[in-house]
Structures are given as structure tokens and as C-alpha cells.
């Protein structure tokens, strides 16, 4: 039986990031097994070939600051870069790029294959191998059972100290196009059903979620030049601080930025005729016929859902986004659908500019199994099975960026578990990644979870411009940077940035002293980076880091009073929130706790008072009473818990 320190199941965005992070942490000679049904699908962009956006862009910046690969791959393969909300404050700006989907997947595979610590294994995992933990009712993961992709031949077993499961939409995946149902998690790829049964046998509660994708069109059959163009930024902004000419990793080289030819998207609209056709065929739409019972993402609705929910609208905007420089496929952003193909024909061919469009691939919805997040910790590790980690859509999330962020967290903790080291988490005030992981373990999703800036209560501190300042020192202390040349380059770049930023801060302090009022000037409407640079004309900063340094210094001064207020609130919250809840606690035995609070606490089994306080159904007074009951120690039933401690 072959042995690895960490085994990753699945080569999507979560799996790739988990493998990369684990490889960064394991000492020389460490081994990571990446099991995938087809190595050619590693890094594939199953839906929109875009990375980043509002709040999602912050996740990518944070992944990069922690030594991840998504930002580098996006920068090397982007064909249209645009910062969303660029006219608004720096806390809500969202870097985004349209990627060449073929180049992106190739870049991710190239980076993964460049790591000698990672071995790619072709096959399908049907079972997680576990063993009992002596003296405990729990079990621990010790490996996986792998079958050939085509079911030929016998299964074989792989041993590991930790296992990361990243199944995407494949667990009992079922694709819907009208009345037609096809087992599978993606066009041309079959579902993974045995894993669902295996997880259920281990006590995991599974739920069903849904996502969807729109039709793809042949660009040569669209009246492209007759449609309104949507342009990228004149001066593209990369995701990674390393994405300046000169870096190279595993055969992936950036000799200029942007590396690829930049393209424009086009905008069109759905028509009144299409809306009428949709209404007349709702009985054939799986979402409305009862064929699909699970919920899809509320903020990325299908076109049939839009027509029903916004019945007063005559049309909806559709963005036509090229998927690659090497093919003519165009993604129709805005008309995700599971309607029958004849209805999709009407929707597409009544859109301006698409009257003669050829549909290369029809849209479809896909239902899949997910594990209820109450079974996982903020590390990604499952509560029922020690050493088993989950990341991505299996945890009820939606989006490449959310999946990659979870993959990084799970990969780090799996490697630490393999080395008998402690858990690692990020707090809500440290990163959007911390917000994501905390939300997952304190809420039960009724729809796929998507990150928004509004979910981050400390977003003034969690800006995209200061991701490296917040997280690169953490990555360095974890050991994520020292093991590779790329990580060491990131550390050197960060050191230069930190030195330059401290210089600029010092100069601002001096210019603001004695009533000179630079602070006040920077907070006036219209103040920007150029205002600051003119005010400190004598300060010289390395051109490779200059823009980011000035942007961060400006944001810190503009938000200074609000940042100070947030930091004070964070200190108060941490005093209570960081207190751990002992493992011996039996919430149901605390009879004086309200029934709703007992049920919520027992269902989620929070690790800390902070997590407990964010559970639905738990009030501040419940936490106070819980603190009293726990202070009395094991064996207390709480019959007189209203007494003073």
C-alpha cells in the first residue's frame, strides 16, 4: 500500500490550492497525492472563465498573500482586467479578470506538475479509509480506496496521515436541461455516487444544492461589432504582487504584464419575445416543474427565475464574454438556464446581435450533494472523522474563489495534522478567508454561499490593497514561503514594500504635525494617490511596489478614525470570542438554557464562544448563562444556573 502524508481528492480550484499549500508546508521529502479522474481537468473553469470581482477579488488577493497559486495563474492568463467599483472607496473595490479558460487550466496544471512533492494519481475515490481512535467514539482518516476511472481492474488503497475531499459538483451530480436528466457533475464527466454513500455511512448529513450555467455561442456567428463594447482598464492591475515582468515558476513565465492579448466583451439584452416564451414553458423548466427541489444561488439566478421574480422587467442585460483566444466560444453571462434546448434557441436568437448565433453548448443546471457545514470546523477538518478535511462546493459554497480559499485553509491544516502540529485559522478581522470559514461553521446554507463585502463587518481593515501587509507575515511564520524560490521572492518583495510603506507613513506623520494638516487634505473629496505623491514629492519608492504602497498609505489616512473604532471593537469582541468551549460540554444537559439555544449549540458544536454567538437562535444572554454553566465544570446539570457564579 502506497503512503502519502496528505491525499487531496479532486483537482478543481479547491483541490489545486490544497495540494499547493500542503506541498509548501511539508518538509523536504514530503509527499502529497492528488487524485483526479482525469489530470487534463485540473484547474478547469467549468462555468464563467473569470477570476475575482466584488469581495471575490479580495479572496484572490489574500490567497496570493498566503503563497497560493490562483492570483499568479489569473495574472498569467487574463484577457481582460477590470477593477470593479473603482470610483468608490478602496474597501469595496473588486479586482477582476476574464481569463483564457484553456490557458488558465494549463497554467494551474503546469504549476502543480512543477512540484516534486505532488504526485498526480488518475482514478476515482470511492471510499475514505478510517480507523477507530483508541478511547474515543470518533474515527480518523487513514487513506482512500481508488478505482480506475473506467471501472476496469481492481481498486487499490493509498495511505495518508490526512485526507482533503474537494468533490465540486460531482457527488451524485445530476444535470438538467428541460426534461432531460443526465448523471454527471460537468458535461462529459460522470458523477461520483459511492462517496456520498460512504459519507452517509460515517454519520455525515448530506444536503442537495444546485448551480447552473448558460449557453455558449460561436463568436463568428454574432454581430460582434454591432454591440456595445465593455472594455477593461487601460492600466490593468494584477492580483499578485509578484506579477511584474521577470517571475517564473515551474515553466510558467511572466515576461510582461499583461501577458496575453487583451479583448473587449460585448453587451446585449434579453427580449420581450424571449420572456413570453419562457413564461409559456415554465412547466418544462426543472426549477418550476418540481424536477429540481434544491435551491440555487439567489444572487446568480437563472433567466427563468429572473422572468418570474422581476415580471415587470421587459429585458435583462447579458454580457457576452470571450472564453479564450484560441477558440470562438463566448460565455453568455446573465442567462444561466436549465430550460429545454428549443426555448434556449429562442432566448439566444432574440437577443440583439445574436439573431444568427450558433449555440456551441446549451445551458444546464446541476444538482449535487453537499455536507452540512455543521460537520466541519473553521480549519476545514470534519468533526466526526479526525484527519478528514472538506473544501469547496462540498461545504455548500459557490465560486472558484471561495473554493480556492477553503482549499488553502484545508491544505495548510491537513499538512499540519500530518506533522502532528496544531490547528491554524484566520479570524474574521484578519481576512475575508476568516469570514468565509466562520460563516460556514455557524450557518446552515439554504443556497450556495457566495462572498460579499457586506458579510465582512471589518471590511475597512480587509481591503485588497493591504492583503500582503495582513497575511504575508502569517504565511512566513507558518512556513508557506520558505520552501520554494517563488515563496522566497514573495518574502523579499514584501520586505521592500514594508520598508517603503513605513517610510511613507513616517513622512505623512511629519507633514501632518504642527498644524500643516496633510491628514485633513487627504480626507477631502477628490483626494487620490496623486494628491499624496505631490504632497510628498521628495519620497522615492521602488517602481515595482510604488502604486500599492501609495494606495495603502492613502487608505489608512482616509479611514483612520473608522479604523481606530473598528480596532477597539475587535479587542472587546476577542476577549469573549476567543474563549474555547470545552469538549466535555453536553449542551442538551444544560436544561436552563432556552430550547432553541440548546438545539443550535448541539447541532453546530461550536469551538469558541465567538462562534456560538454567531449561531442563529443564540442570544447574548444565552452566552452569559452558558459561561456560568461551563464554569461549574463537568457533571453540572444547570438546575440552579440562574444563581450568581
pLDDT digits (tens, 9 = 90+) for 530-543: 989 998 999 999 88
Q: Looking at residue 457, what is its pLDDT?
A: 86
Q: Which residues contact 111 (CB under 8 A, 6 or more apart)?
A: 20, 69, 72, 73, 249, 250, 252
Report residue 217 as a C-alpha cell: 455561442
**173 and 367 in contact (C-beta within 8 Å)?**
yes
The two counts, helices (H) then strands (E), for the chain are: 20, 23
* pLDDT of 27 higher than 90: no
b/e per residue, 273-301, with b = 16+ CB within 10 A? Answer: ebbebbeebeebbbbbeebbebebbeebb
Spatial separation of the C-alpha atoms in residues 565 and 560, rounded to whole Å? 9
DSSP labels, 16-33 = HHHHHHHHHHSPTT--EE
- Indicate if the pLDDT at residue 327 is higher than 90: yes
Question: Per residue in 354-386, pLDDT tens?
Answer: 999 999 999 999 999 999 888 999 999 999 999
d(CA 167, CA 209): 13
How much of the chain exceeds pLDDT 70, in percent? Answer: 96
Three-state DSSP class for residue 639: coil
The answer to whether residue 338 scores a pLDDT higher than 70 is: yes
Q: Read off φ and ψ for residue 303, nearest 5 degrees.
A: -65, -35
Summarize pLDDT for 550-590 with one digit per residue, the tens. 999 999 999 988 999 889 888 877 777 778 899 899 999 99
Q: How are beta strands 32-36 and 2-9 bridged, if at all?
A: parallel
- Evaluate whether 639 touches 591 at the Cβ level (below 8 Å): yes
Q: Which of 1-5, 162-166, 633-637 has the lowest mean pLDDT?
A: 633-637
Between 388 and 293, where is the model more confident?
A: 388
pLDDT tens sequence across 104-151:
999 999 999 999 999 999 999 989 999 999 988 889 999 999 987 666
**In whole angstroms, what is the distance from residue 363 CA to residue 360 CA?**
10
Instruction: List pLDDT tens digits, range 162-173.
Output: 999 999 988 888
Side-chain half-sphere exposure of 48, counting CA atoms within 13 A:
23
pLDDT surpassing 80 at residue 153? no
426-447 average pLDDT score: 89
Q: What is the pLDDT of residue 197?
A: 92
Cα distance between residue 264 and residue 444, in whole Å: 39
Q: What's the pTM value of the predicted model, to 2 decimals?
A: 0.90
Helix H, strand E, coil C: the string for 252-307 is EECCCCCCCCCCCEEEEECCHHHHHHHHHCHHHCHHHHCCCCCECCCCCCCHHHHH
Q: DSSP 3-state assignment of 92?
A: helix
Which run of H or of E encompasses 597?
helix 595-604
> Dihedral sign, CA of 462, 465, 466, 469?
positive
How does the average pLDDT of the chain come out, rounded?
90
Confidence check: pLDDT of 204 > 90: yes
Confidence (pLDDT) at 527:
85
Q: Which residue has the higher pLDDT, 272 or 445?
A: 272
Q: Which is more confident, 210 or 290?
A: 210
Strands 174-177 and 180-183: antiparallel
Average pLDDT, integer, range 501-512: 91
Give the pLDDT mean for 191-216: 91
**Confidence band for 635, pLDDT divided at 50, 70 and 90:** low
pLDDT in tens, 481-493: 977 888 888 999 9
Which ranges of 453-558 does DSSP label H, i.e. alpha helix? 467-478, 485-512, 518-523, 529-535, 546-558
Peptide bond into 258 cis (omega under 30): yes
**pLDDT (0 to 100) of residue 638:** 43
SS3 of residue 134 by DSSP = coil
Please state the separation of Cα 159 from the chain's center in Å: 28
CA–CA gap between residue 562 and residue 560 (Å, rounded): 6
Q: Is the pLDDT of residue 296 over 80?
A: no
Sort 32 into a burial class: Cβ within 10 Å, 0-12 / 13-18 / 19+: buried
CA 52, CA 467: separation in Å to the nearest integer?
A: 14
Using one digit for the tens of pLDDT, what is the confidence trace for 614-624? 887 787 778 88
Best CA proximity match to 120, nearest among 129, 134, 110, 128:
110
Per-residue confidence (pLDDT) for residue 579, from 0 to 100: 85
pLDDT at 451 over 90: yes
Q: Kindly report which listed range (204-208, 552-556, 636-640, 641-645) carries the lowest average pLDDT score.
A: 641-645
- Rounded mean pLDDT of 38-49? 94
Amino acid 150: pLDDT? 63
Report the alpha-carbon distance of residue 590 to residue 395 in Å, rounded. 30
pLDDT of residue 642: 37
Higher pLDDT, 211 or 82: 82
Q: Can you tell me which residue has the cell 483526479?
A: 36
CA distances, 587 to each of 47, 441, 535, 603, 623 (Å)? 42, 17, 59, 10, 12
**Residue 585, C-beta contacts closer than 8 angstroms, at least 6 positions apart:** 630
Q: Which residues contact 346 (CB under 8 A, 6 or more apart)?
A: 273, 274, 277
Amino acid at each position: 500500500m502506497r503512503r502519502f502524508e496528505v491525499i487531496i481528492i479532486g483537482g478543481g480550484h479547491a483541490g489545486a490550492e490544497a495540494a499547493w499549500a500542503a506541498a509548501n508546508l511539508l518538509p523536504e521529502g514530503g509527499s502529497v497525492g492528488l487524485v483526479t479522474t482525469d489530470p487534463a481537468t485540473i484547474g478547469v473553469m467549468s462555468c464563467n472563465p473569470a477570476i475575482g470581482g466584488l469581495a471575490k477579488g479580495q479572496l484572490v488577493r489574500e490567497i496570493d498573500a498566503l503563497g497560493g497559486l490562483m492570483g499568479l495563474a489569473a495574472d498569467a492568463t487574463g484577457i481582460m482586467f477590470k477593477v470593479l467599483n473603482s470610483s468608490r472607496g478602496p474597501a469595496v473595490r473588486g479586482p477582476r479578470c476574464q481569463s483564457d479558460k484553456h490557458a488558465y487550466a494549463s497554467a494551474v496544471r503546469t504549476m502543480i506538475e512543477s512540484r516534486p512533492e505532488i504526485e498526480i494519481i488518475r482514478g476515482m475515490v470511492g471510499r475514505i479509509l478510517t480507523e477507530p481512535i483508541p478511547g474515543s467514539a470518533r474515527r480518523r482518516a487513514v487513506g482512500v480506496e481508488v478505482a480506475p476511472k473506467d471501472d476496469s481492474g481492481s481498486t487499490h488503497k493509498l495511505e495518508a496521515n490526512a485526507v482533503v475531499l474537494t468533490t465540486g459538483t460531482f457527488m451524485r451530480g445530476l444535470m438538467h436541461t428541460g426534461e432531460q436528466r443526465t448523471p454527471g457533475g460537468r458535461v462529459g464527466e460522470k458523477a461520483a455516487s459511492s462517496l456520498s454513500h460512504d459519507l452517509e455511512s460515517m454519520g455525515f448529513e448530506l444536503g442537495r444544492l444546485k448551480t447552473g450555467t448558460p449557453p455558449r455561442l460561436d463568436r463568428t456567428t454574432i454581430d460582434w461589432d454591432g454591440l456595445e463594447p465593455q472594455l477593461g482598464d487601460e492600466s490593468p492591475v494584477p492580483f499578485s504582487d509578484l506579477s511584474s515582468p521577470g517571475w517564473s515558476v515551474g515553466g510558467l513565465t511572466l515576461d510582461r504584464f499583461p501577458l496575453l492579448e487583451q479583448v473587449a466583451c460585448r453587451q446585449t439584452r434579453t427580449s420581450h419575445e424571449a420572456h413570453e416564451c419562457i413564461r409559456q414553458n415554465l412547466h418544462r423548466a426543472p426549477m418550476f416543474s418540481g424536477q429540481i427541489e434544491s435551491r440555487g444561488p439567489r444572487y446568480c439566478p437563472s433567466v427563468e427565475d429572473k422572468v418570474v421574480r422581476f415580471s415587470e422587467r421587459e429585458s435583462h442585460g447579458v454580457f457576452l464574454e470571450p472564453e479564450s483566444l484560441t477558440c470562438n466560444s463566448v460565455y453568455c453571462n446573465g442567462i444561466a438556464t436549465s430550460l429545454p434546448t428549443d426555448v434556449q434557441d429562442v432566448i439566444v436568437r432574440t437577443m440583439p446581435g445574436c439573431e444568427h448565433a450558433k449555440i456551441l453548448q446549451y445551458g444546464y443546471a446541476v444538482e449535487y450533494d453537499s455536507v452540512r457545514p455543521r460537520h466541519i470546523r473553521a480549519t476545514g477538518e470534519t468533526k466526526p472523522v479526525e484527519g478528514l478535511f472538506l473544501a469547496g462546493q462540498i461545504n455548500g459554497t459557490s465560486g472558484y474563489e471561495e473554493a480556492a480559499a477553503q482549499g488553502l485553509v484545508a491544505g495548510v491544516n491537513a499538512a499540519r495534522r500530518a506533522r502532528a502540529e496544531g490547528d491554524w485559522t484566520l479570524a474574521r478581522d484578519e481576512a475575508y478567508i476568516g469570514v468565509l470559514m466562520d460563516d460556514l461553521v455557524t450557518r446552515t446554507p439554504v443556497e450556495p454561499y457566495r462572498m460579499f463585502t457586506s458579510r465582512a463587518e471589518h471590511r475597512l481593515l480587509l481591503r485588497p490593497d493591504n492583503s500582503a501587509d495582513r497575511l504575508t507575515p502569517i504565511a512566513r511564520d507558518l512556513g508557506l514561503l520558505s520552501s520554494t524560490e517563488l515563496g522566497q521572492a514573495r518574502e523579499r518583495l514584501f520586505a521592500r514594500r514594508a520598508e517603503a510603506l513605513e517610510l511613507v507613513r513616517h513622512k505623512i506623520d511629519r507633514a501632518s504635525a504642527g498644524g500643516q494638516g496633510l491628514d485633513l487634505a487627504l480626507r477631502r473629496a477628490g483626494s487620490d494617490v496623486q494628491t499624496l505623491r505631490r504632497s510628498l514629492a521628495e519620497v522615492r519608492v521602488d517602481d515595482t511596489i510604488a502604486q500599492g504602497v501609495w494606495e495603502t498609505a492613502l487608505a489608512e489616512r482616509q479611514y483612520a478614525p473608522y479604523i481606530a473604532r473598528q480596532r477597539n471593537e475587535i479587542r472587546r469582541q476577542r476577549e469573549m470570542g476567543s474563549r474555547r468551549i470545552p469538549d466535555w460540554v453536553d449542551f442538551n444537559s444544560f436544561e436552563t438554557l432556552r430550547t432553541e439555544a440548546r438545539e443550535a449549540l448541539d447541532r453546530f458544536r461550536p469551538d469558541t464562544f465567538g462562534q456560538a454567538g454567531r449561531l442563529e437562535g443564540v442570544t447574548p444572554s444565552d452566552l452569559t448563562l452558558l459561561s456560568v454553566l461551563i464554569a461549574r465544570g463537568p457533571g453540572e446539570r444547570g438546575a440552579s444556573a440562574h444563581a450568581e457564579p
